[in-house]
Structure 1
Amino acid sequence: MPYTSAFMQELMRFRAVVPIALPHKTNEDSELNGYFIPKSTTVGPNIWAVHNDPDYWDEPEKFKPQRFIDADGEFIKSNHVIPFSLGPRTCLGKQLAQMEIFIYLVSMIQQFEFLPDPNSDKLPEIDDGINGLAFLPYPFCLSAKAL
């Protein structure tokens, strides 16, 4: 299911649930892009900036799962999509969360057709929501019709 994997990866890139990772402290004096960062400085990795860097991503403001599909239709895993952070302090539940999201999404798509609720207003745009420590979409209603 390469397109499902590409869809999930693009969703995590496009709309990071936590745009600024948990704070960390530097282990030693460092220099980054000409800036001196002393040992024990609290830093907050900017995941949103990594996921939206126009020097790396073609049209980062657009939702395009096909960016992770190669010419043979296979899924391309990107090391630049880091919703769980990276390195030795990456989220311990990363593999479990990715597996659960995949299984849940595929199971739901196999069993239901999702449609906008006919009794509610239009669906919000994917980039509409409340930004803070986490991104929260505006409330909306769907109906699920069993297949």
Structure 2
Amino acid sequence: MYILGPGRAAFLEFLRNLTPMILLVSISLLAWVQLDFSRIDLSNWLLTAAFYVCALTAALSMWANVSAFMDNGFISPLDLTRARQRLRLRGHSDIKVLGGMVALTWRIKRTVFLEAFFGLLVIYAGLFVAVMSAVNAAATAFRNGLR
């Protein structure tokens, strides 16, 4: 399995980069609870700005972390570029090209397909645990009286 061999550095980097994302999501949750989005109030602009900056930075860090892991954590041992180009030249949509790549990978080498499935499972599980950890940290901060 590539992720446990040469791709382990990218896997560990993905897990390491979840920590700042948890902090950013926690801060944005702490700010979000104190905001009233039903009306415009310019007296609370600093907290609103902090919320938007932290929430946007957290979303961008999620995207950057996942894309870096997908770029560096997996390499395709199959050369599917010719098949992808043929499907695109025939005028197929991106969804059909993706479906064709998945079906071709399943037919040619199932271990690559299973490794990609495992990688997506790791990504979703990691992001889910990170967001739940951030929610738990924010809830604990509120229970302890942080306002």
Shorter chain as normaliser: what TM range?
A: under 0.3
Length-normalised TM-score, structure 2? 0.27
Greater strand fraction, Structure 1 or Structure 2: 1
TM-score w.r.t. structure 1 length?
0.27
Whose helix fraction is larger, Structure 1's or Structure 2's? Answer: 2
